[in-house]
Structure 1
Amino acid sequence: MSLNNYEQTVMTLKDHEDAQLEIVTMGDMTSDKAVVLIHGAVMNYKIMTVFAKYIHHVRLIFINCPGRGESSELARASHSLVDYATRINEALVSIVNETKLQELAIIGYSMGGLIATKLAGYNTLPIKQLVYLNSAAKIDIKELRISKLLMELVKDMKSDNQDGMIKSIPELVLDQGISKKHENNTNFTDYFAPVDAMVTDLLYTLGSDYLADIDEIADMPDVLFLLGEDDVIFPNKDSKETLEKFESLGASVKSVIYPEVGHLDFLRVLDKTHDGALQSIESNINDWLHI
């Protein structure tokens, strides 16, 4: 996929008191299908641009959630994660109408999967596929293991290029992310939200439960779960509950669980098979999206 079609815009949301939302698009602008990529908590859209190298022949839409980049902040005390979803929904409805898109696929990483669940439940977008990447429709605050997550982060900050595999998240993102293509200098901190937005993300995300929203979906999308066995933020039992909910409503569902992969280090299997057995995340996504 060529990055020449990279375009950054700031949308004004009339239904949200003229709040702004930053949107980045690239890919095949002639396609009537788009893949929307929604980042996780404490991050910004740039973390999701690692997928630009692997998803071809469709339009790609990246969104900066409120409080980062050119996206307006929220008054934290009077809003919730639902307000992230309604803002993104308004922007996507506008894009679909303007560009005559016929199909959307949504890839939601971590917090992005919670938002994607809400979007599907609004029934205002032609969502045909939904990918939960280390995510689910709920997050159980009692199950969080923050100390393990911090250990995982420290582990993955170390460089390890054995066998050509980049195991460090900062290395991989800086090597493949969009900033390297459009800026002279790169810094991994550019991929994180401002501290105030980080706090807002965490307060809004922890304990969120959108399982009931799945009941509201009129046309069930095909749902793919790409999970890490060692995920300490979205344990597999939460993902399993979401999976079973979709199955009970007749959705086509598939789950791939990568052993020894945690919440932050999914990039280790982004374009590499796991022990030569499980397909890479790249392959699973492209197969699921039929592209």
Structure 2
Amino acid sequence: MSLNNYEQTIMTLVDHDNTQLEVVTMGDSKSDRAVVLIHGAIMTYKIMTVFAKYLHGVRLIFINCPGRGESTELDRMSHSLVDYATRINEALVSIVNDAKIQEMAIIGYSMGGLIATKLAAYNTLPIKHLVYLNSAAKIDFKELRISKLLMELVKDMNSDNQDGMIKSIPELILDQGISKKQQNTFNFTEYFAPVDAMVTDLLYTLRSDYLADLDEIAQMPDVLFLLGEDDVIFPNKDSKETMEKFEALGANVRSVIYPEVGHLDFLRVLDKPHDGELRSIESNINEWLSIEESDVTE
């Protein structure tokens, strides 16, 4: 079962001044297929562990981005989201070589999709599938209704008001990110990154545009978009632009848009169909990755 073989590793990144990156693995430790799950902004790898019981027969790799858990934080003003990607890439290349991974899929939620785009463009990993979960290769913060509020919060951030920030940013995201027609009942508090990492994530994510990186991908992966129609963090316009470019470059692309689902409430359709019409996220991912679904729950 996927929750077996839990192992935490603190990797030392030689190419990044011996900084550290926390990696957690689960699943089939003997498989030569790996699924890498990259979390979104303001969160930790734990948000992605909700997928663990649905993905079977493969090695699962969860990564804590810089600034949370045992992963070394960055000097915010001297780096960008690219520095998240290069660190993750170094770690994954090492894992691929040591574990003899032959095939890799990456599921990137929100900010994680931006990072996944960079990883594919480096052409150093055997990436066969990309899954954008409420994400895209770019984010146009000028189009976001909440961007001005977020930037004001970030601008006002200082050591005297961190207690307020840890409440205000998550509350803002929760309030604006979910569908207005649904109530989000999932408790995210234990999945939050430290305040400084939250601010860094938001600054880096809001100014990221990796659409041009698609031109650098040597072998196009199969690309699946799982999107919420009411997502105001990554509007469907950005996802559509990314999808169209992948298609123009010859990639096999599919998109599933869930009505009345926002940025955070993808959990409502994680293992349940939407209104009896659209298949669950779990089902779509397993089909796309050719993983056999299991009837066993944990």
1:193 aligns with 2:193: yes
What is the match of residue 108 of structure 1?
A: 108
Shift of 1:213: 0.4
Aligned residue runs from structure 1 range 191-230, under 5 A: 191-230=191-230
What is the match of residue 186 of structure 2?
A: 169
Residue correspondences, number: 266
Task: Return closer, same or farther for 1:198/1:252 CA change in 2, 3 Å cut-off.
Answer: same
Task: Return closer, same or farther for 1:221/1:155 CA change in 2, 3 Å cut-off.
Answer: closer
Cα deviation, 1:111-130, whole Å, max 9, x if unaligned, reads 00000000000000000000
What is the match of residue 151 of structure 1?
A: 175
TM-score of the superposition, structure 2-length normalised?
Answer: 0.86
What is the match of residue 18 of structure 2?
A: 18
Q: Distance in 1 between matches of 2:93 and 2:240?
A: 30
1:65 aligns with 2:47: no
What is the match of residue 176 of structure 1?
A: none
Give the residue type in structure 2 aligned to 1:138: K
SS in 1 for 2:216: coil
TM-score of the superposition, structure 1-length normalised?
Answer: 0.88
RMSD of the alignment, in Å? Answer: 1.6
What is the match of residue 47 of structure 1?
A: 47
Shift of 1:2: 4.1
The answer to which of 253-262 and 2-11 deviates more is: 2-11
Any gaps of 5 or more consecutive residues in structure 1? 161-166, 171-187
Give the residue type in structure 1 aligned to 2:29: M
Q: Distance in 1 between matches of 2:177 and 2:41?
A: 14
Shift of 1:259: 0.1
Shift of 1:143: 1.3
Cα deviation, 1:28-65, whole Å, max 9, x if unaligned, reads 01110000000000000000000001000000000000
Percent identical across equivalent pairs? 81
What is the match of residue 153 of structure 2?
A: none
Any gaps of 5 or more consecutive residues in structure 2? 150-171, 292-298
Q: Distance in 2 between matches of 1:155 and 1:276?
A: 19
Q: Distance in 1 between matches of 2:76 and 2:210?
A: 20
Q: Distance in 2 between matches of 1:101 and 1:74?
A: 29
What is the match of residue 184 of structure 1?
A: none
1:121 aligns with 2:142: no
Q: Distance in 2 between matches of 1:237 and 1:153?
A: 16
Q: Distance in 1 between matches of 2:64 and 2:179?
A: 27
Shift of 1:131: 0.1
